[in-house]
Amino acid sequence: MAKVDTSLVAHLPLFGGVKPEDLEEILREARSVRYPKNSAIFEQGADAQSFFLLLHGHVRAAKTTPSGEQIVVRYVSPGETFGLAMAIGAARYPATAIAVDDSVALIWPTSAWPRLVERFPSLAANTLQTVGTRLQESHTRILEMSTQQVEQRVAHALLRLAKQSGKKLDHGIEIDFPISRQDIAQMTGTTLHTVSRILSGWEQQGLVESGRQRIILRDPHGIVVLAERSPDSGAA
């Protein structure tokens, strides 16, 4: 098994407060796995046998209702952990993870977690921190869904994606992985039709440039304005 270079991951929040030699020990328990674009990494409801640290690529975590409707829980960027079912004491994954790009992740057996935490308490503290942050973001999302209209929510979603995974271009910011209107709909609690209409509108106004699974924010500031517009302060 290829050895993982500690220098690549030492700076990640997960490993804050972990000594270099300890880090090596931790990494010895992991293996590195490649997931081709559009492949499933794990399925909602499956046995949580592993947990993950994304090295390259992007992963979409989605939750499905009994009747088949989906929402996107989040997009995972390199350096982030996912599939932490064990940390919350769940035996099964609460969501499905799909690689949206060719991706590489470090993967540990779930069974290693208790031992690791015991030996390296910072791991628990660090994970608590990131899970806490996600909880906050989650609450913010609920707040938005409760108080804002669809257009504002889409604006916020795009701005977040741009901040998280934006590639700076001369003429704007491009979201760095394939993402469809459907995906955005599932992030904002609306339908792909509505998202499509909104993006069409924005394209007219020169705010964005978009195509098949591709979005470029041409005027990020303009979108910020939209995002913060109060419900009624409508334009002409």
Partner DNA sequence: GCTCGTTTTTGAGCTATCGCAAACACCCTG
Partner DNA sequence: CAGGGTGTTTGCGATAGCTCAAAAACGAGC
Among 91, 193, 205, 206, interactor with DNA by CB under 7 A: 193
Mark the segment that binds its own copies (CB under 8 A) among 40-48, 97-105, 123-131, 155-163: 123-131
**How far are the Cα atoms of 96, 137, 159 from residue 184, in angstroms, in the given order?**
17, 17, 12
Sign of CA dihedral 131, 127, 94, 89: negative
Rounded Cα distance between 38 and 28, Å, is: 28
Task: Tally the residues of the chain.
Answer: 236
Please say which residue, 83 or 172, places its beta carbon nearer to DNA.
172
Segment interacting with DNA (CB under 7 A) among 11-19, 60-68, 110-118, 203-211: 203-211
User: Judged by CB, which is closer to its own copies: 67, or 204?
Assistant: 67
Q: Please, which residue, 7 or 146, has the CB nearer to its own copies?
A: 146
Piece of 24-32, 101-109, 110-118, 188-196 that binds DNA (CB under 7 A): 188-196
Element counts in the chain: helices (H) and strands (E): 8, 12
Letters for 150-179 (x = contact with DNA by CB under 7 A, - = none) are: xx----------------------------
Residue 215 to residues 38, 153, 195, 209, 210: CA-CA distances in angstroms?
19, 16, 12, 6, 4
Cα(first)–Cα(last) distance of the chain, in Å? 62
Place of tokens 């046998």: 49
Residues of this chain, 77-96, that bind its own copies according to CB under 8 A: 84, 87-90, 94-95
Stretch that binds DNA, among 4-12, 71-79, 125-133, 183-191 (CB under 7 A): 183-191
Q: Binding to its own copies by residue 69, rule CB under 8 A?
A: yes
Told to check if 186 binds DNA by CB under 7 A, we report no
E strand spans, the chain:
31-35, 40-42, 50-56, 59-64, 70-76, 81-82, 96-99, 103-109, 166-169, 172-175, 208-211, 214-217
For binding to DNA (CB under 7 A), which residues are involved?
A: 149-151, 180-182, 189-194, 196-197, 199-200, 203, 210-213, 231
